[in-house]
């Protein structure tokens, strides 16, 4: 499999993961483990059995999850954004 095919396969897997968790977890965001906290009026981030905070901007919440996932899972973390976004 070439680099382009591998990239497409990874993107497809990430989208499937997002869709599964969005439906299964009752999420309201296109990003994994990001939920709208109606009482707080902010986006809530949930990590591995841990609340990671509330964010006004949804993308910031998704990036906070990504950073926590990289710290917890390392190279095997499934992220919302490309790994190249995180030095």
Q: What is the pLDDT of residues 9-65, one digit of tens each?
A: 666 666 665 555 544 444 578 898 898 888 888 999 987 778 899 999 999 999 999
pTM of structure: 0.67
Residue 86: inside a domain: no
Residue range(s) defining the domain that contains residue 29: 3-81
> Does 46 fall in a domain?
yes
CATH number at residue 36: 3.30.730.10
Give the model's pLDDT for residue 49: 77
Residue 87 lies in a domain: no
Residue 49: inside a domain: yes
What CA–CA distance (Å, rounded) separates 71 from 9?
23
**How many structural domains is the chain composed of?**
1
pLDDT at 47: 76
Q: What was the pLDDT predicted at 39?
A: 87
Cα–Cα distances (Å) from 4 to 8, 9, 10, 78, in that order, read: 6, 9, 10, 18
On whether residue 77 sits in a domain, the answer given is yes
Residue 18 lies in a domain: yes
Please name the helix (run of DSSP H) or strand (run of DSSP E) that holds residue 36, with its range, or none.
strand 34-37
| Per-residue buried b or exposed e for 55-84, using 16+ beta carbons within 10 Å of the residue's own CB | beebeebbbbbbebbeeeeeeebebbeeee
């Amino acid at each position: 499999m070439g680099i382009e095919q591998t990239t497409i396969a990874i993107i497809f897997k990430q989208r499937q993961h997002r869709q599964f968790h969005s439906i299964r977890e009752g999420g309201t965001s296109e990003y994994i483990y990001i939920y709208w906290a109606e009482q707080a009026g902010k986006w809530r981030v949930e990590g591995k059995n841990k609340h990671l905070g509330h964010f006004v901007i949804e993308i910031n919440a998704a990036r906070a999850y990504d950073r926590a996932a990289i710290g917890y899972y390392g190279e095997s973390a499934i992220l919302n954004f490309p790994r190249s976004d995180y030095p």
